Structure 1
Amino acid sequence: MTEAATAKTNTVETREYERQLSAVWTKALSRIAQAGYGETVTQAYRTCGPMVAEAVSEEAAADLGRLVSWIAIRSGRRASARVPHTAARAAQYLKTFTAFSEWCALLERTGRDLPEAVEALLETSDRSLAEIGLSGYRTFVGMGLALRLTNREKARLFLAGEDPEARHFLDRQSSVLRFDDEELRLKTFHAALWGQLPPIVETPATAPEQMRRRAGFGRDGIRLPSGFPGFDRADSLKLYHAALAHVGAHIAFTRQVFERKSLKPLQVAVISLLEDARVERLALQKMPGLRSLWSSFHTMDARSADLATTLMARLSRTLIDPEYSDTNGWVEKGKRLFEEAFAATPNDQTFCRRIGGLLANDLGQMRLQFDARTYVVQPAYRDDNLGIWTFDEEPDLIEMDVAVETEGVRLEQQERDEADRQEPEEEEKREEEAAAAEKLRLRDEDAVTRLITYPEYDHVSRRMRPDWCTVHVTEAPRKTATGLLRSLTQETRIQSSLTSLISSANVNAFQRERRLETGDFLDLDACIDAQASRRNREIPDPRIFGRKSCKGRDLDILLLIDQSHSTGEPAGEGGASVLDLERLSAAIMAGAMETTGDNCALAGFCSDTRETVRYARVKDFGQPVDQGVYERLAGLESAFSTRLGPVMRHGGRELAERTAYRKVLLVVTDGEPSDIDVDDPDYLLEDARFALRELAMAGIDVFCFSLGDNRNDYSGRIFGGKNVRKLADLSRLPGALLGLYGELKK
């Protein structure tokens, strides 16, 4: 309801109720009227104050008066005049004095810390309270105000709901059913329906809008929208099921992709519609129960206007709903051509292209407008059809969108740097960094990339930001490893010592054998059963002992190699870089562990904003240490920043899938966690600490080699003093691995 409508509807009731209010209310109103804030502010409080008193209490109405005065002083009359109207609506939702007082306190805090954002916050109050509740609203305000320390304008945009991070938070915290609410059940549903186990992930928030609103699939699996705005929880769950059933039909029955070539967007849309109908028809032959699931979302009928998109939706409906009839000539023609072709060759998808081209031409001759930029496939459960076409403009749209965003951030950073008039040497260094980064981007475009989203911990709000970072998992590029192999031949002593120490490390797994006649300990379950048998006057089982037996060595280590820009710096007088020593250490450890029969995996990492956290696989578990591993180690190059938390979470995910008795994540890094899209110096550090706690709870040991003379003890704050090896002399890194395995022996 608008402010004007609120005032008009409640004027009579307000005046009657105003006469009954106590002296506290009268005093508050008199103070506002005499303060000189203007008639607009006074009238707003006179109108809405009684509404707050009725919904909550007279004391709440008096507190509102004090808030109105405070905002008028801090943020101006315009913002102050809006406070009573917003407060009246908040009171209807909050109802209790405690909750309403907290809402007022949040507004007062905003007026004190960021007065220019009060009006923006009032704009989002109604939606925020309705969708995320007071608790979520408290977090939302806290996150916004925290941004003021580094960027006041960004903080204002956040509280106005105009910042992408704010929209992401509000969407994720709302009561709408979300993908992550049902992720496991959706994967189970798809496996049960189609007998398929493809990766099913949430569409990244950075994808184009059409992709965010619809399901999709490709070589790397299935992606689903984060939610379906406008649908309640029950319908949203049905939509997810319908979407998975539809995508599964494509995977089962679309045998080859269509080639776009010179086709127009309208032709692509109509051909896709017919292929959707064809695969659904084939699926219905095997699972007729899917008809009720799909047809419930086909609601477009003959009463709709004759537009290109509505006619296409009506054709979709008539092809799946046998009880629906449509007298439109174009719809009738499409149905007739489809039925004839499907009856003759149901497994031949080429008829969709032939018929679709004809129908699209007919729509064009009817002069019906079709805007490909805003077109979204209907109904909502159907996929975006990108998976059934080859486009000339590949690579993938998600990666393109991320690249554009991060490039924009980098350009802004460069402009700020130029404004600061840095020294020529620093300018040259920045140019070298940009060149290395561009080279790495070009390599990524040629690599097969798997995108995985991870949450990130916000230490200000003390909450996780769901699906905040996107980890790009690729195989590391290959490069000639002559220099690395030469260095390995010079480190035979260290390799021999390391192999010996690993062999003696106490990493054996034990298993308990139970119900034995002799053993090392009493098996309590067997003892209880024996005692129960005795009381029942039965002969007890004499096998009441147990024994511990050793299964043999059982150790998995994942080594994460920092390849951020700073690792390209010289490590000492020998001319080798920090990354060179990291490569050498990784090669030594991998070779030694292979010799002793333990499992080891290697990966490099760096980041370029939260949307592009790079994870380069060098060696997977179970993969032999061969020439390919050395070449991928040599292919790691220094570029970008160090966003540690998402990388640790991904490493933990890989280790969690292992069955080893002991799992170790080893991080080798030379710098404090940082990234170009983060201004708060503690944000990434606290996230890494939180990620460490998550790994510890999962039974994964984490160690860190902190390289260089780092005066700020960031590594100790993250990993704890006992789990950090600090190396000011970087040349000692290969030998320092001996100390790590000393820990394993304890």
Structure 2
Amino acid sequence: MTDYHAQFTCGFQSAKDLFADALNAMQGVCPDTVCIEAFIDRANFLCKIGLGAEPVLTFMDVMPEVVKRYGAETIERVARFAYEMGRSPNKKAVVPFLQSLLALAHRVESPDGLERYLEMLADFIKRTEIVVHGHQSLYPSKGLVPLLENMPLLLRQLSLEGVRAFMDYGVRAYNHNPDHQQEYFELKTPDSLAMLRRQREGTLFVDVERQLGVLAAGLWDCELPLRTFTVDPELPSYQAPFFDRDNEVIGMPDFVAPARGLSGLQIYRAQIAHLMAHFKWSQPMIGDNMSPPARFFTEVFEDCRVDRLAMQRFPGLERYFLALHPVPPLGACNEAEQSCLRYRAARLSRALMDPDFDPEDEIIEVFRDRFNALMVEKGEALTLADMKELGTAYYVKTRAQTDDKGGDMFYEDTEVLYRDDNRYLWIYIDDSGEEDIFDHAPDNEDETPQGLPPRYYDEWDYSMNDYRPEWVTLYERLHPQESPAKIDNMLARHELLIKQLKKMVEAIKPQDKRRIRYQEEGAELDLDIAIRAMIDIKAGLNPDPRILYDTVTDNRSMAVLLLVDLSQSLNNTLPGTGRTLLELAEEALAIMSYTVELLGDRFAIAGFHSDTRHRVLYHHIKGFTEHWDDTVKGRLSALEAAFSTRMGAAIRHATHYLSHQPAEKKLLLVLTDGEPADIDVKDPEYLIEDAHMAVAEAHQQGIFSHCVNIDPNGDDYVKRIFGGHYTIIDHVERLPERLPQVFLNLTR
């Protein structure tokens, strides 16, 4: 019998102590003598490479699982890769590399998975080592160790190809900044977390936003805006959507992974359906006088009530709801050692939702019968107050049998993966707040203390020929207003111009009805053609049978968004006039708004400026559904110019709004006085290229973009951004006249 212990010659005592267990584990997956001897030989080899005991200890710990997954031939391959790494400047990465193999074996099943992984690491090392004189690496890759340390997390979240894409972006984005590259692979930068979310196997909200918005509006008559919050990939718990009553906005997770046999899109649909059911049937009530557990069980009954009503209206929802609803096994929670509130709630909720579920609990059966009786008796007339009675009674009844305050909260199989956090249900008079013992999803309110939640946009980096994911944070708000008298006075000064524009509008404004002649089937007889046909008959000729005409409604199907650059440079004074560029812009916007109101097109105005990529401000000045009135005039009166011009993000946000307009033709008109720039960008080409890419993205969505520039020297950069679709106004004082004319010419 082979004496394997004698063959193990490693001198580290800690390795000798571990060898017996490692040998048994290896024999369990690879009993062949050749395999075992190869394992021992490579372990001896790693003992002698001068890196101490840790490499061999880790090797012996992980290799049984690796061999079980990928085969005995991996022993030599792994040891050789670790040796090559150990004799390079990256010797500190040997142990993290070996440790990462365990996560790989648990996640990647394909036989060639290990080889692909090693090729990825070899390429990464080659691209990120600091090379001197073009051929010799003297300094280690600063991103390698943090990458390998975070590899278990990456492999839990991503496929192997997703990991490759995550690595590739970090190399290209920070190839000349090793310190920032290290932070990226430590998952400490916003774009690293954004790339992690983007590469996950699931559905991004941005890809299905329009579908969900149509679903909410079409089936539930709810047009509240949908906004995203960032899902933390390191949190294992479900991060629920929410209904923000104060800001009138629906918060949705920016990413949903497939779960329980449903795709991310299907889970999004279930979440929207549940939120819309609350929107339709739930009426909030004061919650100050209730204990947290009583509120919690009230929410359970209310969730089930609106879900049941939703399933009655749309029976197809039942499959989604029940698939995403957990069923914790009977007795899974130990009442003596754990707090079982969530466990009892999950089984209660399942019983209320699923008539085929046997809860094996007399109390749940009693409350199921009471709940079903109320649903039959009152249906949609039930209120949250009715559910409060049931929830409080159930909690009191079950509290008598257990101590809910003892031990840790039981969570396993208790999260319903489509329900919201129920903040919508409660109104609090005393805002001091109680500790929420149930760990609802974070509100992200710290990020947006006022107004709507921020939106995150990619930004094009021409130097690496790729987008920086979620690189720009954009905040939007309704612009404040002042007295409209200022705008009325401006219009009065341009009375003659306005009369001229009225004539132009009348010339291009379509008539309500247009006659289509020469129809064989139509609404009316075309008398001229009919007489001609009679003459042909009398003359023995074949008459033209197209003696009827029809009429069609002839109107413009046009949506226009005027995006105004409100950067600091608009405060400059025009020589010889004493007037600022901002005042001229206000006059031009006022005259154009008046003109478009006469024409009847769907028209909106927004302004933007930026204070680094972390704060792009987007101001709503006139909405598509608003008319030219004192409210809009008041907002124009209050315009202020400040900060810089990060144009790409503003164009993308304007495109977002234009793309949702029900119009055949969509025009984005950009008014600016200079090239894109911001204080955190040193390369003048960077934001120009990003703006060009934003215009291309708009074009792909069927939106035509045109720039009106009041910089006489702006031809070069404007042409690069907008192609040939731009107008340079050399005489800036003529802006109030030229801007409406440009619009009319573009939409004639």
TM-score (norm 1): 0.70
Kept in 2, the 8 Å contact 1:642–1:675? The answer is yes
**Radius of gyration: which is bigger?**
2
Distance 1:468 1:509 in 2: 47
Aligned pairs for 1:290-301 within 5 A = 293-296=320-323, 297-301=325-329
Note if 1:605 corresponds to 2:619: no
Which ranges in structure 2 are unaligned for 5 or more consecutive residues? 1-14, 132-139, 434-440, 521-541
Note if 1:257 corresponds to 2:292: no
Aligned pairs for 1:622-637 within 5 A = 623-637=626-640
Amino acid in structure 1 at the alignment position of 2:287:
R
Note if 1:278 corresponds to 2:305: yes
Note if 1:402 corresponds to 2:447: yes
Aligned pairs for 1:298-309 within 5 A = 298-305=326-333, 306=335, 307=339, 308-309=341-342
Distance 2:118 2:71 in 1: 8
Kept in 2, the 8 Å contact 1:509–1:661? The answer is no
Rate the CA distance shift 1:626–1:459 in 2: closer, same or farther, 3 A. same
What's the offset of the Cα at 1:237?
Answer: 5.6
Distance 1:215 1:689 in 2: 35
Amino acid in structure 1 at the alignment position of 2:351:
T
Kept in 2, the 8 Å contact 1:511–1:551? The answer is yes
Kept in 1, the 8 Å contact 2:611–2:644? The answer is yes
| Residues 522-566 of structure 1 deviation map (CA, whole Å, 9 limit, x = unaligned) | xxxxxxxxxxxxxxxxx9x988xx99x995766553211123455
728, 732, 735: which one pairs with 1:733?
A: 735
- How many residues are paired up? 668
Aligned to 2:93: 79
Kept in 1, the 8 Å contact 2:243–2:424? The answer is yes
256, 268, 286: which one pairs with 2:295?
A: 268
| Residues 665-699 of structure 1 deviation map (CA, whole Å, 9 limit, x = unaligned) | 11123455456787876554433221201222344
Distance 2:662 2:355 in 1: 52
Q: Percent identical across equivalent pairs? A: 26
What's the offset of the Cα at 1:617?
Answer: 2.6
Aligned pairs for 1:153-552 within 5 A = 153-179=179-205, 194=219, 196=221, 198=223, 201=226, 203-205=228-230, 213-217=239-243, 220=248, 222-229=250-257, 231=259, 234=262, 239-254=267-282, 256-283=283-310, 293-296=320-323, 297-305=325-333, 306=335, 307=339, 308-326=341-359, 331=364, 335=368, 338=371, 345=378, 347-360=382-395, 367-369=403-405, 378-391=415-428, 400-403=445-448, 445=450, 449=452, 456-457=459-460, 459=462, 462-463=465-466, 472-492=475-495, 495=498
| Residues 102-124 of structure 1 deviation map (CA, whole Å, 9 limit, x = unaligned) | 54212321233872221111234
Question: Considering only aligned residues, what root-mean-square deviation do their CA atoms show, in Å?
Answer: 5.6
Distance 1:14 1:43 in 2: 22
Rate the CA distance shift 1:273–1:653 in 2: closer, same or farther, 3 A. same
Distance 2:386 2:640 in 1: 49
Rate the CA distance shift 1:271–1:499 in 2: closer, same or farther, 3 A. same
| Residues 197-241 of structure 1 deviation map (CA, whole Å, 9 limit, x = unaligned) | 645746321799899722333565654434455725536565445
What's the offset of the Cα at 1:638?
Answer: 3.4
Kept in 1, the 8 Å contact 2:603–2:624? The answer is yes
Rate the CA distance shift 1:288–1:730 in 2: closer, same or farther, 3 A. closer
Distance 2:71 2:556 in 1: 67
**Partner-residue secondary structure (3-state), 1:172:** helix
What's the offset of the Cα at 1:288?
Answer: 6.4
Distance 1:56 1:627 in 2: 77
Distance 1:572 1:370 in 2: 77
Distance 1:285 1:669 in 2: 53
Rate the CA distance shift 1:590–1:611 in 2: closer, same or farther, 3 A. same
Amino acid in structure 2 at the alignment position of 1:592:
T
Aligned to 2:3: none
**Partner-residue secondary structure (3-state), 2:446:** helix
Kept in 2, the 8 Å contact 1:67–1:104? The answer is no
**Partner-residue secondary structure (3-state), 2:447:** helix
Note if 1:106 corresponds to 2:88: no
Aligned to 1:421: none
Distance 1:709 1:122 in 2: 53
Aligned to 2:437: none
Kept in 2, the 8 Å contact 1:692–1:702? The answer is yes
More helix by share: 1
| Residues 609-645 of structure 1 deviation map (CA, whole Å, 9 limit, x = unaligned) | 7676543332234644332221111133335554423
Distance 1:211 1:730 in 2: 57
Distance 1:739 1:140 in 2: 49
Distance 1:688 1:311 in 2: 54
Rate the CA distance shift 1:575–1:650 in 2: closer, same or farther, 3 A. same
**Partner-residue secondary structure (3-state), 1:402:** coil
Aligned pairs for 1:50-61 within 5 A = none
Amino acid in structure 2 at the alignment position of 1:369:
K
Q: Which moved more, 1:624-633 or 1:95-104?
A: 95-104
Aligned to 1:650: 653
Distance 1:695 1:509 in 2: 31
Distance 2:391 2:354 in 1: 20
What's the offset of the Cα at 1:160?
Answer: 2.8
TM-score (norm 2): 0.70
Kept in 2, the 8 Å contact 1:207–1:402? The answer is no
What's the offset of the Cα at 1:303?
Answer: 0.9
What's the offset of the Cα at 1:479?
Answer: 0.7
Note if 1:615 corresponds to 2:621: no
Kept in 2, the 8 Å contact 1:457–1:463? The answer is yes
Rate the CA distance shift 1:613–1:363 in 2: closer, same or farther, 3 A. farther
Distance 1:745 1:322 in 2: 60
Distance 1:327 1:550 in 2: 66
Distance 1:64 1:731 in 2: 75
Kept in 2, the 8 Å contact 1:60–1:101? The answer is no
**Partner-residue secondary structure (3-state), 2:202:** coil
Rate the CA distance shift 1:103–1:552 in 2: closer, same or farther, 3 A. same
Distance 1:314 1:275 in 2: 15
Kept in 1, the 8 Å contact 2:205–2:228? The answer is no
What's the offset of the Cα at 1:96?
Answer: 9.3
Distance 1:596 1:328 in 2: 69
Kept in 2, the 8 Å contact 1:645–1:687? The answer is yes
Distance 2:421 2:197 in 1: 21
| Residues 275-333 of structure 1 deviation map (CA, whole Å, 9 limit, x = unaligned) | 12233344455566755653442402431223222122222223333444556686567
Kept in 2, the 8 Å contact 1:716–1:724? The answer is no
Kept in 2, the 8 Å contact 1:670–1:706? The answer is yes
Distance 1:78 1:745 in 2: 65
Rate the CA distance shift 1:145–1:18 in 2: closer, same or farther, 3 A. same
Kept in 2, the 8 Å contact 1:608–1:641? The answer is yes
Kept in 1, the 8 Å contact 2:202–2:257? The answer is yes
